[in-house]
Amino acid sequence: MTVPDETKLWMYQTMFLSRRFEETVEKIYLEGKTPAFNMANGPIPGEMHLSNGQEPVAVGVCAHLNAEDVVTATHRPHHQAIAKGVDLKRMAAEIFGKSTGLSGGRGGHMHLFDPAVNFACSGIIAQGMGPACGAALSRKMQNKPGVAVSFIGEGAVNQGAFHESLNLAAVWGLPVIFVVEDNAWGISVSKQDSTAVARNDVRAAAYDIPGYYVENNDPIAIYDIAGEAIARARAGGGPSLIEIETFRLAGHFMGDAEAYRPEGEKESLGLRDPIPAFRALLQKEGVTSAQLDSMEKAAEAEVAEAITFARDSDYAPVEDALTHVFA
């Protein structure tokens, strides 16, 4: 599958936008949390899971999606949210816990919801797989356009929800694609220590659906495979399972000492950063440095505007604490 030039440029700019957004959030997150780290302090309280290094997965898949398509994401969702078109200002405000956030500041960074582009995520492992099946079923029953994509981590494949969702999707022939982001670590547990198979795409055979594997965090290869699976789903061909080898350049969460990594792993992963590699590929294909620099400046300006909006927004009044809470 040939990637249109404009799509490649969108993929690069979106990857850069995601990275710059997270680098900015990372600095702000640490405000007020020193000298003794306390995640409850600072302008961004709570946990923070960065997706640095995993950007190719988001852009390679979401390049094929439209607003009517549904995405359910993980607790590490920023790159997927940005690639799906979630409002960056309201997303930043949600991370800051402000009233102008996507959920009025109630959800934080692990619980981002934007109905305008049919995006949702959750901090519960494999939680999004069932709702993705439901969204796909709704499209099929109502004969409406759209597919569903459920992003999960490789640690989620050993959850019951994974197998139940694949079975249900296969039995009902649902237009849903399950995408496994394999960054090799489920928190601090390696894939080889927790999973009986080396590659999870082989598990698709148990449900008689196609399984695909993409190596080396390659955005072009991801685009090709995702395009095939999504086109198949749109044509009524049913679900697919894709596992993508990707790299988590940061810790599981901010504050993670990463002592579980083998010596030298973190440094070697830094040399495989997908953004400089993709920039080099585009330059080799004739895109000028000036054009790429201009795209990066535009992304930086968008991030700065979103952060300013979040910082300047008000917190919700105390009396709203129980609004939208159901018992």
Query: pLDDT tens, 180-192?
Result: 999 999 999 999 9
**Superfamily of domain 5-188+218-309, CATH level 4:** Thiamin diphosphate (ThDP)-binding fold, Pyr/PP domains (3.40.50.970)
Backbone angles phi, psi at 203, to 5 degrees: -70, -15
Domain boundaries, the chain: 5-188+218-309
Q: How far apart are CA 229 and CA 233, in angstroms?
A: 6
Q: Which of these, 59, 63, 84, 87, lies nearest to 72 by C-alpha position?
A: 84
The first and second tokens of residue 57, run together, are 């997965």
**Does 327 score more than 70 pLDDT?**
no
* Cβ contact 25:311 at 8 Å: no
Per the CB < 8 A criterion, the answer to whether 219 and 15 are in contact is yes
Predicted confidence (pLDDT) per residue in 1-52, tens digit: 799 999 999 999 999 999 999 999 999 999 998 888 888 999 999 999 999 9
Predicted structure pTM score? 0.96
Segment 264-318, tens digit of pLDDT: 999 999 999 999 999 999 999 999 999 999 999 999 999 999 999 999 999 999 8
Provide the 8-state DSSP code for 1.
-
**Whole-angstrom Cα Rg for the chain:** 19
Report which residue type is found at 220. Answer: I
